[in-house]
Amino acid sequence: MSYLLLSCLFAGLLLATAVFAQATDPAPTSTIDVWPAEKMPGRPATQPESDLPDRNDHTRRITNVSEPTLTFFPAPSKDGPAPAMIVCPGGGYGYVVFDKEGTDVARWLNAHNYSAVVLKYRVPHNRDGALQDIQRSISLTRAHAAEWNIDAKRLGVIGFSAGGDLSAKASTRFDERSYAAIDEIDQQSCRPDFAVLVYPAYLGDDGKVSGDLNFNAKIPPTLIVHSEDDKPFVPGSKLYDAALAQAGIPHEFKLYQTGGHGYGLRCEREAKVWPEDALEWLRKTVAQPK
């Protein structure tokens, strides 16, 4: 067989593989605004939304978010309403890591028959606005439950780093909204049914669990994922674990020796097993509505 023919066959194989991957890769079906026009509480960013310069790590970082959005990735299975998770990327509340800790996670959840909704919340330096965004997003997703074929009683949150902090706030501060209700959407509950916190940041402050969290609330079942070598933030997870235990909240703490911070689904150290451990926890926790 000639070199030219082999080259053509190889090129055709690559093209076919790319087309197949594109056809089977779950894609979002819709992106909606979190807030109605002119009714967003709190403050916007002071600069136009933009992507930060590439760091040669194939990661998209969005900053100056003034118009929060939800991007919906439906579960492939049509066998009744699917459980769903709102995905909260990290970024230190300075930007949103939209793919590595957002859309990549959504596609992973889709592969295991969960629907996913990626939240692009307000940044930078707007923690109050971010909390308003996630509370509204939980209610908004429930309002779309029938349209999106999701189970409104099996709606959780999964957050990474700052998104883990935001998810912890959502799962402890739902009894009182951080904004005045603006429409019928806000009549829907903003309490998540379960929560997964992956290397969450900011849960501890000066040796004590963060005062931003309410442990008197009916906190949903929670999974905490962290590693010992994430020195700045693992102490906060240990404090949060202890506080949940003291409050009698069903939860698990997966603590690995190595993993670092900010890896999403791309960890190459001991924490690389966290997705499998999280799926096992979800199978036990989300089998029945909570």
Return the CATH superfamily for domain 29-285: Alpha/Beta hydrolase fold, catalytic domain (3.40.50.1820)
Does residue 120 carry a pLDDT above 70?
Answer: yes
Q: How many residues does the chain have?
A: 290
The domain ranges of the chain are 29-285
With cut-offs at 50, 70 and 90, classify the pLDDT of residue 27.
Answer: low
pLDDT digits (tens, 9 = 90+) for 218-266: 999 999 999 999 999 999 999 999 999 999 999 999 999 999 999 999 9
Percentage of the chain exceeding pLDDT 90: 84
Does residue 169 carry a pLDDT above 90?
Answer: yes
Task: State the pLDDT at residue 29.
Answer: 77
Mean pLDDT of 142-146: 97
The more confidently predicted of residues 276 and 55 is 276
Task: State the pLDDT at residue 97.
Answer: 98
Task: State the pLDDT at residue 221.
Answer: 98
pLDDT digits (tens, 9 = 90+) for 194-218: 999 999 999 998 999 999 999 999 9
Does residue 9 carry a pLDDT above 70?
Answer: no
Name the residue with tokens 């005062």.
Answer: 211
Mean pLDDT of 87-103: 98
Task: State the pLDDT at residue 115.
Answer: 97
With cut-offs at 50, 70 and 90, classify the pLDDT of residue 6.
Answer: very low
